[in-house]
Amino acid sequence: MIGFLFKGLIRDKSRSRLPIIVVAIGVMLSVFMHAYITGLMVDMIELTARFSSGHLKIMTRAYADNADQIPNDLAILDADGLMQRLKKDFPEIDWAARIRFGGLVDVPDSAGETRAQGPAMGLGLDLLSKDTHETDRLNLRKSLVRGRLPGSRGEALLSENFSRKLKVNPGDQVTLIGSTMNGGMAIYNFTVSGTVRFGTTALDRGTLIADIGDVQHALDMPAAAGEIDGYFTEGFYDDDEATAYLGRFNDRYSAGGDEFSPVMLRLSDQEGMKMYIFLAERMGGIVTLVFMIAMSLVLWNAGLLGGLRRYGEIGVRLAIGEEKGHIYRTMIYESVMIGMAGTVVGTIIGLSFAWLLQTYGLDIGAFTKGSSAAVMMPDVIRARITLADYYIGFIPGVISTVIGTALSGIGIYRRNTAQLFKELET
């Protein structure tokens, strides 16, 4: 019977071509949109991870308890040694030491007197090492507005708005006034190598970025760091994988009674990020569900109309004595075949488009360049193919098509002999 129905669908193109095309288009859009939304949500999380939270973050216990205050007096003292051990024990993670600090940026005039001042949020990064990924991770190269990236010790970047407010240009000298790790006064001169635009008011209002070596020297923090951030080499945050690393690290390195012992936090453990990840995942599911419901209704109606167009054929089959139940079952079998064929074709096409967007991305740098969105907004939009994309198309592709056919086929059991002969006469 199945072979007979299959041959019938192949030979009668009017019964198979259009339904399969409709199913394939619906499934293709469903699969592609799911991969696109997943990629978009992941990119939003990754931007936060790259700039502030990391996929994994290591701090001292005391620092972690007061992280909002940036207590550098509670920083990791032997950060260089810990980094070496981390690279040996966890080579699959890209580790980066950072120092966050606050201070006052003083701009001198030609006589050395203060010409302008402004409060700044500082960030010490590894900008000068040959194997560093910090420059690319924060997208600093594409975010430059004026000047260049720091190329030697004593150079720093200022946010563009901050530099305009202080009337500072690349090549000018500024002085950082702050507090050292031990509570003393820190005074350190930087040469502004360039300016960048972050895309958020809080950062553009006043930010200074310098090499971590200069910041360690300025704040009297030799070989120390406020935090060590870890990033998965595949570029995506995985909470289960992060949990496994957290357990391994804390068991090996962390001592519960020592407030200066290092402790690891996942991205989801940091303030606000757990709820953000939860909302991001649910938002992707909600948008995908809405889109799939819409496509399911379209395919449902296609199956319904397909059944209604065949009422004449059904009448003839009933007239020659075929049982209503048998006709109904054959229509369901046909809809399953059409749904499977359309789903396979649509899934292949949808995954192909998603793969292209995931591999090559869509560069929107021309739209974000100079538009205050360079660092905090990705220049390239990418999809992300997950396991669900391989089977999610079967929901609108097969189930909805079968439901539409099943509803339209209910009319078979309502046919009576008088109505049947009337239809045949016309």
Q: Is the pLDDT of residue 12 over 70?
A: no
Ranges 61-70, 90-99, 171-180: which has the least confidence = 61-70
Whether pLDDT at 129 is above 80:
yes
Lowest-confidence segment of 43-52, 82-91, 140-149, 272-281 by average pLDDT: 272-281
Q: Does 300 or 221 have the greater pLDDT score?
A: 221
On whether the CB atoms of residues 95 and 83 are closer than 8 A, the answer is yes
DSSP sequence for 60-121:
EHHHHHTGGG--GGGSBSSHHHHHHHHHHH-TTEEEEEEEEEEEEEEEE-TTSSEEEEEEEE
Q: Is the pLDDT reported for residue 145 higher than 50?
A: yes
Choose the weakest-confidence range: 295-299, 301-305, 375-379.
Answer: 375-379
Mean pLDDT of all residues belonging to the chain: 81
Structure tokens at 27: 């499934």
Q: Which residues contact 260 (CB under 8 A, 6 or more apart)?
A: 60, 61, 62, 74, 77
Confidence category of residue 421, pLDDT binned at 50, 70, 90: low
pLDDT of residue 372: 42
Q: Of 82-86, 112-116, 228-232, 276-280, which gets the smallest average pLDDT?
A: 276-280
pLDDT at 413: 66
For 261-290, the pLDDT digits (tens) are 999 999 888 766 777 777 766 766 676 677
Least confident of 83-97, 134-148, 161-175, 371-385: 371-385
Looking at residue 365, its pLDDT comes to 58
Question: Do residues 73 and 88 lie in contact, with contact meaning Cβ atoms separated by under 8 Å?
Answer: no
> Lowest-pLDDT range, 3-17, 189-203, 228-242, 299-313?
3-17
Res. 375 pLDDT band, cuts 50 70 90: very low
Query: Could you tell me the CA-to-CA distances from 216 to 101, 180, 192, 338, 357 in Å, in that order?
Result: 11, 9, 18, 67, 41
Q: Which of 111-141 are b and which e, b meaning 16 or more Cβ less than 10 Å from the residue's Cβ?
A: eeeeeeebebbbbbbbbbeeebebeebbbbe
- Range from 5-9, 54-58, 100-104, 314-318 carrying the lowest mean pLDDT: 5-9
DSSP state of 235: S
Q: Would you place residue 373 in the very low, low, confident or very high pLDDT band (cuts 50, 70, 90)?
A: very low
Considering only residues 9 and 411, tell me which one the structure prediction assigns the higher pLDDT.
411
Helices (H) and strands (E) in the chain, counts: 17, 12
> Is the sign of the CA dihedral 212, 217, 220, 222 positive or negative?
positive
137 vs 301: which has the higher pLDDT: 137
Q: How confident is the model at residue 374 (pLDDT cuts 50, 70, 90)?
A: very low
Cα→Cα distances 288→17, 136, 351, 355, 356, Å: 27, 31, 15, 18, 20
